[in-house]
Structure 1
Amino acid sequence: MNTLRTLCTSALLAASLLLGGCASNRVNLEEVREFADASARLGGYAELSTRYRDTYLREQPYLPPAAEQVAKDNDARRHAAYNDFVTIQKAVVLYMQTLSQLAGAARYDFSPQLDTFGVGMAGMSNTTLGQKQVGAYTGLARLLTRAFTSRLQKESVETMVREGDADVRILLEAMASLTDIYAAAHENEKKTVLGFFEVALPLAERPQDRLLYTLARAHVQAKTSEYRLVDRRIDLARQGLAKVAQGHQKLRENLDTMSSSEMRHMLSDVVRDLNLIRAGLASD
């Protein structure tokens, strides 16, 4: 009996030491989760995509007849490309959401992510995206499917970051380039609308047109405020994309030191900046 008790005590002690060793070596993933979560919730880009799609609806009343057909053609192209542009954003958000769950303490179920990726892939048959972007999207989908089968949580996070870095970088670069396209369309719309009033307002300064002139001036002020707000949102969206790209690159470069104080502070700083950008977008 004493021998059995001794063996049991020894076994419990060994198990305790083993578990203690595992706990002491466990990589702290809290900052990784916070970074991924803040990246997924950043916002801004989707709203700019929708605004870009609907450009013609806003500028049409101010277009000269000679520009009408060109504007309609541009409108058709925007609508054709819109779903692809949004698909890129959804892929990055899904990646970040998955990374956040993998870095969390709770058990996770990735069925919704896989279902969403399936829908996205089905819409790629007539894509307007380039081969590079389609390849990155496909690679990310395959990576997620494979990472979900990993038996150890830490290995899943490392797999996601290491193997997903190139594809995530390509998609973030595409989103940044598309933001430039949105900005160019916004500038063109601003010139069209405000330019219309620059020409039309002086012609409405007669006393009998006073009411019309006053209403037009109020409309110009409202449109000017709207465009100033969009300018700010574009700037914040660019900052956010750059910050997400920076954080993921640093995470990839320092996978072996994720739990170090320096790395954790760096990620915390990125999260703080992303939250400030998100707050700025929300305040608009």
Structure 2
Amino acid sequence: MNPLRTLATSALLAASLLLGGCVSNQVNLEEVREFANASARLGGYAELSTRYRDTYLREQPYLPAAADKVARENDAKRHAAYNDFVTIQKAVVLYMQTLSALAGEGRYDFTPQIDNMGAGLTGLAETTLGQKQVSAYTGLARLLTRAVTSHYQRESVETMVREGDADVRVLLEAMITLTDVYAAANENEKKTVLGFFEVALPLADRPQDRLLYTLARAHVQGKTSEYRMIDKRFELARQGLTKVAQGHQKLRENLATMSSSEMRKMLTAYVRDLRMIRAGLAAD
């Protein structure tokens, strides 16, 4: 046998065994990637934030004159806070997108989005959020900047989850709290709008007002259906954000065993739930 061929065959065999060993020892991150991707695509919060901002546009026609001044003041406050409220969501989404990318085989350049985070929260100067949320936002921006420049996939994922957990938890808690604020504003709007018709409709139930009465009742039915649908979306949004927070906490608590069968099944369950919630939020 040719000595050179024997040497080459032995070298290839050794390399094959070495590579095979590396593959078998790699951490499986597929479920981590799926969880992060499902979390980033959850949806609902941004739509509800916009609805909260535009409350006055919907309720103004039904407001008594005496209440309009206060309503306009609240409208100005909502518009001032809106950018901050959606900015914290963008930070969480970017974190999850980055985590998903780091847990995958590809590499993505998130530098433009990270650069834009510097302009978030009203430039961090006149933000309507508390210092706790500002600190979490700033910490997450720093972490993302480091993570996207890392050359080691597994270490990047572990670092992201370990160091990002506290800040992500603060921002998700803020989003859940804000969702409750949005729901409370929506409840007040519903009482204003439907209460208007409760008073006005009996006064219009006369033969000469029959057309107006019929149109008004149809309008009430439409608004009632709208509020019922929005109430459902508030509940789904809360459930989704809570699932994201719980899933990330479990991931943080089980970093050493995130490729175990039990942990992978747990993440798969979270992904299934998040996809179902997302489908519910997208439904008419």
Under a length normalisation based on structure 1, what TM-score does the superposition of the two structures give? 0.96
Judge conservation of contact 2:236–2:281 (CA < 8 Å) in 1.
yes
Which residue type is aligned with residue 21 of structure 2? G
Bigger drift between 120-129 and 228-237 goes to: 120-129
Bigger drift between 29-38 and 116-125 goes to: 116-125
Give 1:192 shift. Answer: 0.4
Judge conservation of contact 2:84–2:122 (CA < 8 Å) in 1.
no
Structure 1 partner of 2:39: 39
Judge conservation of contact 2:83–2:121 (CA < 8 Å) in 1.
no
Alignment map for 1:49-64 (pairs within 5 Å): 49-64=49-64
Give 1:105 shift. Answer: 1.2
CA distance in 2, matches of 1:261, 1:12: 33
Matched, 1:97 2:86: no
CA distance in 1, matches of 2:110, 2:2: 50
Bigger drift between 68-77 and 108-117 goes to: 108-117
Give 1:19 shift. Answer: 1.3
Which residue type is aligned with residue 268 of structure 1? T
Structure 1 partner of 2:170: 170
Compute the RMSD of aligned alpha carbons: 1.6
Change (3 A) 1:121 1:230: closer
Partner SS for 1:125:
coil
Which residue type is aligned with residue 40 of structure 2? A
Structure 2 partner of 1:221: 221
Alignment map for 1:97-116 (pairs within 5 Å): 97-116=97-116
Runs of 5+ consecutive residues of structure 1 not aligned to the other structure:
none
Judge conservation of contact 2:194–2:220 (CA < 8 Å) in 1.
yes
CA distance in 1, matches of 2:77, 2:119: 22
Give 1:151 shift. Answer: 1.8
Give 1:283 shift. Answer: 1.1
Give 1:254 shift. Answer: 0.7
Bigger drift between 114-123 and 90-99 goes to: 114-123
Q: Percentage identity across aligned positions? A: 82
Structure 1 partner of 2:25: 25
Which residue type is aligned with residue 280 of structure 2? G
Judge conservation of contact 2:236–2:280 (CA < 8 Å) in 1.
yes
Structure 2 partner of 1:138: 138
CA distance in 1, matches of 2:173, 2:50: 19
Which residue type is aligned with residue 193 of structure 2? V
Alignment map for 1:102-251 (pairs within 5 Å): 102-120=102-120, 123-251=123-251
Structure 1 partner of 2:266: 266
CA distance in 2, matches of 1:264, 1:92: 22
Structure 2 partner of 1:66: 66
Give 1:180 shift. Answer: 0.5
Give 1:114 shift. Answer: 2.1
Judge conservation of contact 2:121–2:127 (CA < 8 Å) in 1.
no
Runs of 5+ consecutive residues of structure 2 not aligned to the other structure:
none
Change (3 A) 1:228 1:121: closer
Give 1:115 shift. Answer: 3.0
Partner SS for 2:106:
coil
CA distance in 2, matches of 1:177, 1:107: 34
Under a length normalisation based on structure 2, what TM-score does the superposition of the two structures give? 0.96
Which residue type is aligned with residue 212 of structure 2? L
Change (3 A) 1:228 1:244: same
Give 1:106 shift. Answer: 1.6
- May I ask how many residue pairs the two structures share in their alignment? 284
- String of CA shifts for 1:241-262, please: whole Å, max 9, x gaps: 0110111011111111111111
Partner SS for 1:142:
helix
CA distance in 2, matches of 1:46, 1:102: 25
Give 1:168 shift. Answer: 0.3
CA distance in 1, matches of 2:37, 2:17: 34
